[in-house]
Chains A and B, each alone.
Chain A
């Protein structure tokens, strides 16, 4: 394979790490944040019959994980093309 020159390789890796940081911060906030640490406080708000903190812990965080993975996959495809390291 032809490896991209060093400078563009570094820019690509930096863009990847930036996206990764955003994803992991959101991952932490919806589960550890809303589902655990803030659960007692959020439970005073209701989402239908669900106390909100309980909803995040048993439903919401899972939906959020799904959105995060597909968003990551789509953004990474774009970053791959921008830095000309995409497959085929």
Chain B
């Protein structure tokens, strides 16, 4: 069977599995629709949370980012896992005890204000749409590259599938399909990683392979450092960002993770407070399988890429005659990816060989040697997003592994998209309609409104995926920065400060939101032209737009406490509510 047919079969089988699970787990009530009836086992919930969390970015882009950033990629690894510690100890058990359906509902009730609830709904919708558009884009890329259908058809198939199980099944359908999707995506990620680790280091665990030695006896990482250094790149195991920026980005990613509504809402689905605590741990167990493998995938992909393009670098003879690969003899995978324009070759010195090196190296001696060897600049550009998808092809793995990776990438994108669409629809039907606009909505009409909202959201997400506005590329800055600066501190203060009042919370949320949003626009200029060049010299305290959410969160809390000090104190019954959510006993099922 050729690769294309095989990919159709594998992807088709995975879709059949999701549809079967979705039919088995239909939603019958609003409680099923919003929180899966509140009866999901913590380990099952952990697995569903892991699939919900690991998006097209985790599956497709992260290892590629690490491959090209080396140590610099660590901020994503620590940031996107460390957030679960904050979630487990600061938020999840208390929000579970509170026992309601949505994040804006907690903020509205705790701060006795529909205004606060509305601000939370706006934050949630912006964060979630930014995120979901990226997922739909991921679905489109996988379809167009592996199945060679055009991107619109790919998007329509993906939208139809998400529509089917998110709209019919609600949280219940999504939870159980996510369990199936987790199994597909983790299998698809691990198989090539294990093969490649075995090939390079003889170690079956990629986590250990990364710390093991290559055939010649040198440690793999030392060899990789030498390879990238000889080609003029920054050494793999050291970073080049300023300390304060690395700290701020890591913190923003951690607090942002803990503040993302589609992650928080997963902890409303377990039966008890006790389960909310351990479920965060189970989620991280399943997430860390991929997150501890990604550094090995990234490093080994980088090594294989250089070894393919510049075979001479392995023997230390970078500048010797013919150290680069002849373009005529380039491997088949490169030809296939050239068609997508994600890898490009331009023969600057006309010698027919590929020179892939860092022509912007700060090492003058290196550049002089390159020039003496007749090199006229770097000739190859590689899009980092292809590293995971092309990895099995680069490592010459069998076709069924390549087909599996396609199914895994689609599973990662679909599971995250479904979770996001669900929080968007519940924010609209439960918070905006039932909570603020039409409080006398019956349960049946609310369920219908939820389904219609989910259907509309699928359509909007599909459109944004086909025609992504500029802000979609800034998911890290926008989604995490805004969750970190607006939702996270407000929820935190709602639990840990009994005296925080409505005026303080609203003022804090708005200042965190506007400051962070404004700072990102100022440098990235999404809807406007940037007002200053995005370079360290211009940044506030040397913190990049990716890390500014940390400053926004601090500002949020400072403003909240200052305003609370000068306005009317928090009412008695709310203080009792806070005392109540701090003790586990008496947690019933989630209700409205």
* Interfacial residues, chain A to chain B (CB-CB below 8 A): 1, 3-4, 9, 12-13, 16, 20, 23-24, 27, 31-32, 35-37, 39-40, 43, 46-51, 54-55, 57-59, 61-63, 65-66, 68-70, 72-73, 76-77, 80, 85-87
Query: How far, in angstroms, from A49 to B280 measured CA to CA in the complex?
Result: 31
| B571: interface (CB < 8 Å) | no
Say yes or no: B221 contacts A50, CB within 8 Å. yes
Query: How far, in angstroms, from A32 to B79 measured CA to CA in the complex?
Result: 10
* Interfacial residues, chain B to chain A (CB-CB below 8 A): 66, 71, 73-74, 77-78, 81-82, 84-86, 88-90, 93, 207-208, 210-213, 219-222, 237-239, 243, 246-247, 250-251, 272-274, 277-278, 280-281, 284-285, 288, 291-292, 295, 579-580, 582-587
Q: Which 8 pairs from chain A and chain B are nearest by CB? A: A49-B219, A1-B586, A57-B74, A69-B281, A73-B277, A48-B211, A50-B211, A58-B295
Say yes or no: B274 contacts A24, CB within 8 Å. no
Identify A65's interface contact among B82, B207, B272, B587, CB under 8 A.
Answer: B82
Q: Which residues of B are found within 8 Å of A48, using beta-carbon distances?
A: 208, 211-212, 219
Chain B, residue nearest A84 (CB)? B585
Say yes or no: B222 contacts A49, CB within 8 Å. yes
Q: A16-B582, A59-B295 are in contact. Are A69 and B71 (CB under 8 A)?
A: no
Say yes or no: B291 contacts A62, CB within 8 Å. yes
Query: How far, in angstroms, from A4 to B584 measured CA to CA in the complex?
Result: 11
Q: A24-B89, A65-B84 are in contact. Are A49 and B250 (CB under 8 A)?
A: no
22 pairs, CB–CB < 8 Å, chain A vs chain B: A1-B580, A1-B586, A12-B582, A24-B85, A27-B86, A31-B78, A37-B243, A49-B210, A51-B221, A57-B71, A57-B77, A58-B71, A62-B77, A63-B292, A65-B84, A65-B85, A65-B288, A66-B285, A76-B277, A85-B583, A86-B274, A87-B584
B402 to chain A, nearest CB (A): 26
Say yes or no: A73 contacts B579, CB within 8 Å. no
Q: A23-B89, A87-B273 are in contact. Are A70 and B77 (CB under 8 A)?
A: no
Identify B211's interface contact among A36, A39, A55, A72, CB under 8 A.
Answer: A55
16 new A-B contacts, CB < 8 A, other than A31-B250, A39-B71, are A20-B89, A20-B90, A27-B82, A36-B247, A49-B211, A58-B73, A61-B77, A65-B84, A68-B85, A69-B277, A69-B280, A73-B274, A76-B277, A85-B585, A86-B584, A87-B272
Q: Which residues of A are found within 8 Å of B580, using beta-carbon distances?
A: 1, 3
Q: Which residues of B are found within 8 Å of A69, using beta-carbon distances?
A: 84-85, 88-89, 277-278, 280-281, 284
Query: How far, in angstroms, from A59 to B142 measured CA to CA in the complex?
Result: 29
Query: How far, in angstroms, from A31 to B77 measured CA to CA in the complex?
Result: 10
Say yes or no: B88 contacts A72, CB within 8 Å. yes
Query: How far, in angstroms, from A32 to B582 measured CA to CA in the complex?
Result: 29
Q: Which residues of B are found within 8 Å of A27, using beta-carbon distances?
A: 82, 85-86
Query: How far, in angstroms, from A39 to B211 measured CA to CA in the complex?
Result: 16
Query: How far, in angstroms, from A10 to B250 measured CA to CA in the complex?
Result: 34
Query: How far, in angstroms, from A62 to B107 measured CA to CA in the complex?
Result: 30
Q: A70-B281, A77-B274 are in contact. Are A49 and B207 (CB under 8 A)?
A: no
Query: How far, in angstroms, from A72 to B250 measured CA to CA in the complex?
Result: 22
Q: A50-B221, A69-B84 are in contact. Are A35 and B78 (CB under 8 A)?
A: yes
Q: Which residues of A are found within 8 Å of B221, using beta-carbon distances?
A: 49-51, 54
Q: Which residues of B are found within 8 Å of A62, using beta-carbon distances?
A: 77-78, 81, 284, 288, 291-292
A75 to chain B, nearest CB (A): 10
Q: Which residues of B are found within 8 Å of A23, using beta-carbon distances?
A: 85, 89
Q: A27-B85, A39-B71, A65-B284 are in contact. Are A70 and B278 (CB under 8 A)?
A: yes
Q: Which residues of A are found within 8 Å of B213, using beta-carbon distances?
A: 49
Identify A54's interface contact among B71, B84, B273, B278, CB under 8 A.
Answer: B71
Q: Which residues of A are found within 8 Å of B78, using beta-carbon distances?
A: 31, 35-36, 57, 61-62
Among B77, B82, B221, max chain A CB count under 10 A is at B82
B65 to chain A, nearest CB (A): 12
Say yes or no: B220 contacts A49, CB within 8 Å. yes
Among A3, A4, A31, max chain B CB count under 10 A is at A31
Q: Which residues of A are found within 8 Å of B84, using beta-carbon distances?
A: 65, 69
Chain B, residue nearest A68 (CB)? B85
Say yes or no: A36 contacts B250, CB within 8 Å. yes
Q: Which residues of B are found within 8 Å of A16, using beta-carbon distances?
A: 582
Query: How far, in angstroms, from A42 to B541 measured CA to CA in the complex?
Result: 26
Query: How far, in angstroms, from A43 to B236 measured CA to CA in the complex?
Result: 13
Say yes or no: A73 contacts B288, CB within 8 Å. no
